[in-house]
Amino acid sequence: MMSGLSRSYAAGLLAGAALLTATACGAGSAQTGAGAGGGKPAVVAAFYPLQWLSQQVGGPDAAVSVLTAPGVEPHDLELGAHQMAELGEASLIVYIKGVQPAVDDAVDQDKAFDAATAVKTLPADHHEGEAAAEEHDHEVSYDPHLWLDPARLATVATGLGGRLAAADPAHAQGYKDRAAATAASLGALDKEFTQGLATCRSRTLVTAHEAFGYLADRYRLKQVGITLDPDAEPSPARLAEVAGLAKTDKVTTVFTESLVNPKVAQVLASEVGARTAVLDPLESKPSGDYLSAMRANLTTLRTALGCGA
């Protein structure tokens, strides 16, 4: 059965072309240059969660653009001439080293804010089992998916406020005030998760790829990822390992993602007698915003894990 699972895996991502055009960027990208931005600092965010955070903290005082278009898997981003020009003109680049190798190689460290430097990170291979560890060579030694912990993202907001204040002293207080307000909103979200996931029948998350380590760490859950990388095909050994853990922990739900083909997760769910549900890793822009998408994730988790009222 495990080899059948491997054969059934459809590796194609649902993303479109990685080259970001001016139309795909929208108004935010059009403001990147100093002239179009009216003299505002040009803040280039690597992908959606950092775009949302930069917009919250930058407010009306910064012109924020994003390198990764909606619907594009950020891990696979390749930079075209347009994005390279944005990086060259940026006052501040907000990224997380280890998510996008192309961005890691292109950023000017003198004007970069790496969110991973603002928080305590988790080891890259903190999951169980040796089989999964052999499937992917991490670009960094830590898990970069830190935005899925609201408490850590609140710390990043505070750090970003300080960096923007230093880059644009004339509006320093505005950046600091908005950073504090954003951190407070994220703190409130953290409390909702803490309370909502306090009492659950199951505490095991079987996920399409290991994006939810920080969420699991924060709220006392156990993540079991089918793969470490969204575009990596799982080995038969890893599939067997995940199936065994899912059966042992009596898992009732296998979580899929909108940007990752769900076939392998669906077949695995059938193998262990579970259903599937979408858990958004927020690597691309959701229908709402970061806060509403995270609250939707909380609702999904509470239903899947059988959490009390």
Q: Is 22-190 the same fold as 2-6+193-304? A: yes
Low-confidence residues of the chain: pLDDT under 70? 1-38, 125-139, 230-231, 309
Long-range contacts of 28-37 (CB under 8 A, 24+ apart): 28/55, 28/63, 28/64, 28/65, 28/66, 29/65, 29/66, 29/86, 31/63, 31/64, 31/65, 32/63, 32/65, 32/86, 32/89, 32/90, 33/89, 34/89, 36/63, 37/63
Superfamily of domain 22-190: Nitrogenase molybdenum iron protein domain (3.40.50.1980)
Q: What is the CATH number of domain 2-6+193-304?
A: 3.40.50.1980
pLDDT number for residue 227: 80
Query: What does the pLDDT read at residue 140?
Result: 87
pLDDT for the residue 2: 38
Domain locations in the chain as residue ranges? 2-6+193-304, 22-190
pLDDT for res 29: 35
